[in-house]
Amino acid sequence: MAELTYPDLDTYRREVFAREDELLKRVMPGAAAQGLPPISISPESGKTLYLLAKSIGAKKILEFGSLAGYSGIWLARALPDDGRFVSLEVDPKHAEVSRKNLAAAGLADRTDVRVGEGAVLMRDLVDEGPFDLVFIDADKENYPVYLDFALENTRVGGLIVADNANGHGHVHEALETGDGRRGIQEYNRRVATHPRLVSNIIPVGGWLAVSLVLGTD
């Protein structure tokens, strides 16, 4: 067999471990053509979410922030046939693009994209929980609010994951009052020290903050 070579390590990692199929490859270029911003998770983050969801046998997943459904496809693909993926999205256009992409991926039967403020819509989800995995990737200032919900509505042994944990490269700095990234600083400090969580950063893409929910015993 001919040996394959790659131009750099990042390409190697992506091509070997985080390969996108043809459908995933088309999602973000298609979204850009419709005017959506190119702010989805990376393929490496997608593969990591997929691995995390699979490893805990997730059947119910909640997402804050759908955009075009890119992360949603990775997550919903990790579900069994009777699994449920709910994604909360404030922008109706993003929600529509997201629904179309999830349907194109054959996941319409197990996915539900709801339009509105995440912090409002989440209140209706208490009865639909507890969730096995909560993925937080919407407005950064509300990360602590989404964390409060996730702490109450994720099962023991489940995972709470947040994207952009490096604060777009600034989480280590003193940020201005009112800077949304301060929400990420607070989120990180809380999950790192919470007695019911075991947390760490997986430094893929803009960093995933991953927290395992422990029992109360």
Q: What phi and psi, each to the nearest 5 degrees, are found at residue 64?
A: -105, 115
Determine if 118 is a binding residue for ligand SAH (CB under 6 A): yes
Q: 92 near 116, Cβ under 8 Å?
A: no
∠ CA 61-63-67, nearest 5°, is 140
**Rounded Cα distance, 26 and 34, in Å:** 12
Determine if 89 is a binding residue for Mg ion (CB under 5 A): no
Within 13 Å of residue 197, how many CA atoms lie on the same side as its CB? Answer: 23
Q: Which is nearer to ligand SAH, 97 or 191 (CB)?
A: 97
Determine if 65 is a binding residue for ligand SAH (CB under 6 A): yes
- Which of Mg ion, ligand SAH, none lies near 164, with the C-beta cut-off 5 to 8 A by kind? Mg ion
Q: Which residue is nearest to Mg ion (CB)?
A: 163
Determine if 183 is a binding residue for ligand SAH (CB under 6 A): no
Query: Least distance to ligand SAH from the beta carbon of 161, Å?
Result: 11
Of 20, 96, 112, 139, the one binding ligand SAH (CB under 6 A) is 139
- How many residues at the interface with ligand SAH, by CB under 6 A? 20
> Is the bond preceding residue 92 a cis peptide, omega within 30 degrees?
no
Q: Give the Cβ contact number of residue 35 at 10 Å.
A: 8
Q: Which is nearer to ligand SAH, 117 or 173 (CB)?
A: 117
